Structure 1
């Protein structure tokens, strides 16, 4: 019996390893198939990179293929690369011929330093946002207030590239307090870390706020308050319990910062792993791209596993002895404030929809706001309010659809397993949406659909991990254990216990992710990957207006304010448990 039990226990672990290996191999094959999917000859790309003036002589191209080791087909090339990667050999760059490993290791060190500093910024700012509400909750038992929720929502809606551009202009150019680009020392760290960390602090504060609200609804909190525990003791216990729920999210945040740093690394010319991977994709330097993706994924898997272990360690024996008592938070939200923000946003969107977003008038270019043009005009004399309104349909509509899909997938995946373990979700979380978008664009061309797919591929992962964490606690509760002993089936437990306990908190998380998804789409639009250049999509508007931010700040303020209002609506609209 013991041997049979050991074999039965080994099957999930073996299955998990096979799933992870299959995911890694699939990603490597996808990257390795890029030239065949896009129809571009990598030999031509290499020739242009080395000498743009040489003619595309077939003999020269054949020599380049032989010299670089370009495979005849993606399957054999990927298998050969994977065989070398298992030995620690990532191959040689197709462009320079130099070994890939040293450059990837150096880029990884830079990205981990930047992501670590950005994570520290997000943690400090997130805790500062929540600290007053948590301290008040120890005395009143009320959920996190609207002020903290609004602050977190506003931070989460700040575009990273916009923060980076403003910091560059103000701090680096005008004040001369920091270098504008490069990675030569500690002076290069603060600006990109702030640009990455401030929006992440908004998302983190909302996840922690949801965890605090759920913790306040648990019976032990009322018992401790009734029996006269000191506020400092209760505050420490609340923080410990809430952080235990949020630890896997903290890990995901760090891994996500590694990937989402592509745009920031590009703006500040930082030779990190994201920027290196992006350059490799654009140059079709496949060994370099495959190595970057593999390192990101392995790091994501390792940290995902550490997040699960940290969650189990924080809760201790309660997960094994039916000692958990999770409860659904009866939140008292700020629907009036959410409705007010939605009304303001809707009014401006409606006003913009009544105007022509494509009418060009060069004689009206860069005019300040007036009665005729409430939001002013852009560099081509187009009405900014009109473009704001029409762009809202794209930016908000697509981000809501992506968030809804992510919620469904996240809850299904997060509640499906009986035991939390690192797997496909952690693999996908480590793949930057920008990199997915670049790959899709290389195959299908720039389009909003490609950008939406790129965001959707990874945006469900934090929701799945959140649902997985909460589901593990619910399964360890006494009422679920009693239901199991009473003969309740898997479906009954899922419908009557898991979903009612998990869905409200994850839904609130999904609401917070709506502006985050809009920002991801805006980032792809900023890079020109989400459609045509004249698109009124808010990311494209920000991209084309940043050059005029100093002389015509209203061109940047309109889409930025729209994202902030969207964040307030999503952050203040709370679901009832």
Structure 2
């Protein structure tokens, strides 16, 4: 009971710090809130001292941020979230309406993600049901392409081709269920690919657990065994599923911008840019509440599925040694990426040739040219250095922080919920307000939120690993907490979390690209990939190569990450040497700890 009260108090402190930080945003940015509000209300009106003083008096800015924050908090128990500084309307109805649109989009996107995840795991489930698995996931690297597709690029292609050119589905606006299909596809396909890979990573071990072997020996149908194996693996992924749901709600800013959806992410972003403080605070508070409810529901569902086994220590480990994986695919993808970079580095990414605007691929320009006649191959190669190095550095930092904080679930649980409720775009705005805008802004913004899914994954795996039979037996033999952590828990948990970090590396690159796409990252003429996509998107119909080139490189990066992640496996335990050279051929008389292999 005391631990629960402590967790609630810690969560309340985190939410208070976040809301207070947002309340200080106009003052942290060292700009006059009255000037920002004047530009949003009437851009043609002169910003005279008298006009600015009148706006400050209307907003109560002269009273200071603490007074404004106190007024806003005092109105929340009455259902009063204040009035918009821009429109003058009540904040709460507009925020709740935006939340309704985001929730509808989230539900449809979740359905797309689950179908995609099922497709990724289908081959593993089929082979496992027929007892033909070789100890490693059967899925290929095709899911890596889906996971590496930029959401904003997928949304642009779907809106342009499916919505406008073919006219199959509506592309712009928000007037009914039909308008949810295309944005849900853009959001659900990458999320489902990542979830499918995480699930596909655990299924082979579930199919060789004692219950599965006994069920197969007794002649149970393979379909039933596959269904139970799926249920066995799902609880460890439920925390990440909750994080995905929150991300689909608040982190879909670019998709909402493209499809003109009045969702919560877009509303919060517009309020942050315009410094409409009451709307920004209310939107952030709703996102935090949604994150707490979603992740709490995910943890409750996981406890209901495997609660008795967690209590009794009756689980078997899902993280066991596996056969060596084929390394030809990561080598091939790595060579392809290296060739593209090496061919483009000698070229000048800033050289202009207006006579060669939007030229198709040729021997002189293998990837074609952009709207200013610049060589796309040169810009992709030079942008790859910054993007890949930053993504790799952020992934390493996120993995380290995620594992360390995942070892302390009481500390990291509420922190993960709070951090995950902050979209990277809003984090970028907060970082820009404190540190100023520049090339480091997206790096800091993505690093602030990138560790949360890895910490949630670490905590979920540790919770199950601590309840395994082999750990219970090792503890009964007198092993201390340090030995258990060093020799049993970390060797079992680190490989899957490291694979998860590799799977998210393309996502980190996409997050950096998304911030560049929204104008919060690198500025022209930088060849950063997000900026390349943003600059060339208006010419996608006339010069598709200018958009496909950076998108294809992102897909290759995703395929490289997924295939390389397959090589991170728990090492096989060393067999003790015996004095009798024939001892290895004799059956062991020692009781084997279940799941130790």
- TM-score grouping bracket, smaller chain normalisation: over 0.9
- The answer to whether residue 454 in structure 2 is matched with residue 492 in structure 1 is no
Partner Cα distance (2:328, 2:213) in 1? 28
- The answer to whether residue 349 in structure 2 is matched with residue 357 in structure 1 is yes
- Residue 124 of structure 2 contacts residue 203 of structure 2 at CA under 8 Å; is this kept in 1? no
What residue in structure 2 maps to residue 5 of structure 1? none
What residue in structure 2 maps to residue 4 of structure 1? none
- Residue 333 of structure 1 contacts residue 572 of structure 1 at CA under 8 Å; is this kept in 2? no
- The answer to whether residue 531 in structure 2 is matched with residue 537 in structure 1 is no
Pairing partner for 1:52 from 43, 64, 73: 43
The CA deviation at 1:492 is 2.4
What residue in structure 1 maps to residue 502 of structure 2? 511
- The answer to whether residue 438 in structure 2 is matched with residue 447 in structure 1 is yes
- Residue 338 of structure 1 contacts residue 572 of structure 1 at CA under 8 Å; is this kept in 2? yes
Does 17-26 or 56-65 show the bigger shift? 56-65
What residue in structure 2 maps to residue 176 of structure 1? 167
What residue in structure 2 maps to residue 383 of structure 1? 375
What residue in structure 2 maps to residue 231 of structure 1? 222
1:69-84 matches, cutoff 5 A: 69-70=60-61, 72-84=63-75
Partner Cα distance (1:420, 1:229) in 2? 43
Query: What do residues 133-183 of structure 1 show as CA deviations (whole Å, max 9, x unaligned)?
Result: 21112221334556x241211110000011111111111211122333211
- Residue 522 of structure 1 contacts residue 537 of structure 1 at CA under 8 Å; is this kept in 2? yes
The CA deviation at 1:52 is 2.4
- The alpha-carbon distance between structure 1 residues 317 and 283, as it changes in their structure 2 partners (threshold 3 A), is same
The CA deviation at 1:26 is 1.2
Unpaired segments ≥5 residues, structure 1 = 1-8
- The alpha-carbon distance between structure 1 residues 71 and 480, as it changes in their structure 2 partners (threshold 3 A), is farther
- Residue 137 of structure 2 contacts residue 204 of structure 2 at CA under 8 Å; is this kept in 1? no
Does 64-73 or 246-255 show the bigger shift? 64-73
Pairing partner for 1:274 from 246, 262, 265: 265
- Residue 291 of structure 2 contacts residue 418 of structure 2 at CA under 8 Å; is this kept in 1? yes
Partner Cα distance (2:326, 2:248) in 1? 30
What residue in structure 1 maps to residue 308 of structure 2? 317
- The answer to whether residue 250 in structure 2 is matched with residue 259 in structure 1 is yes
Partner Cα distance (1:73, 1:209) in 2? 53
- The alpha-carbon distance between structure 1 residues 498 and 105, as it changes in their structure 2 partners (threshold 3 A), is same
Partner Cα distance (1:437, 1:161) in 2? 18
What residue in structure 1 maps to residue 361 of structure 2? 369
- Residue 323 of structure 1 contacts residue 476 of structure 1 at CA under 8 Å; is this kept in 2? yes
Partner Cα distance (1:301, 1:71) in 2? 34
- Residue 388 of structure 1 contacts residue 536 of structure 1 at CA under 8 Å; is this kept in 2? yes
The CA deviation at 1:456 is 1.4
Does 174-183 or 276-285 show the bigger shift? 174-183
Does 50-59 or 298-307 show the bigger shift? 50-59
Partner Cα distance (2:71, 2:474) in 1? 52
The CA deviation at 1:44 is 1.3
What residue in structure 2 maps to residue 3 of structure 1? none
The CA deviation at 1:486 is 4.5
1:43-192 matches, cutoff 5 A: 43-70=34-61, 72-138=63-129, 139-143=131-135, 145=137, 148-192=139-183
Partner Cα distance (2:135, 2:186) in 1? 30
What residue in structure 2 maps to residue 294 of structure 1? 285
What residue in structure 2 maps to residue 6 of structure 1? none
Query: What do residues 30-79 of structure 1 show as CA deviations (whole Å, max 9, x unaligned)?
Result: 21111111111111122222222332232332222222233633334333
Instruction: Tell me the C-alpha RMSD between the 2 structures.
Output: 1.8
Partner Cα distance (1:313, 1:361) in 2? 64
- Residue 120 of structure 2 contacts residue 197 of structure 2 at CA under 8 Å; is this kept in 1? no
Unpaired segments ≥5 residues, structure 2 = 571-597
- Residue 49 of structure 1 contacts residue 95 of structure 1 at CA under 8 Å; is this kept in 2? yes
Moved over 6 A (4+): none
Query: What do residues 320-342 of structure 1 show as CA deviations (whole Å, max 9, x unaligned)?
Result: 11101114233443421111011
The CA deviation at 1:487 is 4.6
- The alpha-carbon distance between structure 1 residues 494 and 71, as it changes in their structure 2 partners (threshold 3 A), is farther
- The answer to whether residue 327 in structure 2 is matched with residue 340 in structure 1 is no
Partner Cα distance (1:334, 1:162) in 2? 32
Secondary structure, counterpart of 1:98 in structure 2? coil
What residue in structure 2 maps to residue 398 of structure 1? 390
Secondary structure, counterpart of 2:192 in structure 1? helix
- The answer to whether residue 328 in structure 2 is matched with residue 326 in structure 1 is no
- The answer to whether residue 513 in structure 2 is matched with residue 522 in structure 1 is yes
Partner Cα distance (2:16, 2:140) in 1? 41
- Residue 60 of structure 2 contacts residue 68 of structure 2 at CA under 8 Å; is this kept in 1? no
Secondary structure, counterpart of 2:407 in structure 1? helix
- Count of residue pairs the alignment pairs up: 566
TM-score (norm: length of structure 1): 0.94
TM-score (norm: length of structure 2): 0.91
Pairing partner for 2:204 from 196, 210, 213: 213
Secondary structure, counterpart of 1:54 in structure 2? coil
Query: What do residues 421-471 of structure 1 show as CA deviations (whole Å, max 9, x unaligned)?
Result: 941101111111111112323444443311011111111111111111110
Partner Cα distance (2:496, 2:206) in 1? 11
The CA deviation at 1:219 is 4.1
The CA deviation at 1:295 is 0.4
What residue in structure 2 maps to residue 193 of structure 1? 184
